[in-house]
Amino acid sequence: AAAAFAAFPRLQRIACTLRVQDSVADQALSAVMLTRDGDGVVETRAEAIHMAGVIDRVGGGDAFASGVLFGLWSGWTDPQALDFGLAAAGLKHSVPGDFNLFSAEDVHAAMQHEGFDIRR
């Protein structure tokens, strides 16, 4: 991160997911955001979500990035934006195809229920 921040003076943040894959269908996904802070770097981490029965991980990175960007654009704190992006990525893993079709309300609902179990 320090090298990227040095090479790109206008760069403010770097965010990515971290995956632990027990099997194709059972995975844990967490996230980290590195933010420029003067001459230093602040690290923000999002706690891992555990996903059993992954349907399709293609598009999960796009869902994460768009969720983080949406959160930052909305004026949320770095931890809030990171958690939202991670939840959006987690939900995307539950449906086939490249696109995350969940609304912001769906993502918030998943975050508030502390998990991704089926709710009726």
120 contact partners, CB below 8 Å, separation of at least 6: none
Contact (CB, 8 A) for 35 and 78: yes
Contact (CB, 8 A) for 48 and 26: no
Instruction: Give the model's confidence band at 99: pLDDT under 50 very low, under 70 low, under 90 confident, else very high.
Output: confident
Q: So what's the pLDDT on residue 120? A: 38
Instruction: Give the model's confidence band at 66: pLDDT under 50 very low, under 70 low, under 90 confident, else very high.
Output: very high
Q: Average pLDDT for residues 91-108, to the nearest whole number?
A: 91
Instruction: Give the model's confidence band at 108: pLDDT under 50 very low, under 70 low, under 90 confident, else very high.
Output: very high
Contact (CB, 8 A) for 46 and 79: yes
Q: So what's the pLDDT on residue 2? A: 87
- Residue ranges of alpha helices (H) inside 1-120 are 2-7, 60-73, 78-92, 104-112
Contact (CB, 8 A) for 25 and 54: yes
Question: pTM for the whole thing?
Answer: 0.89
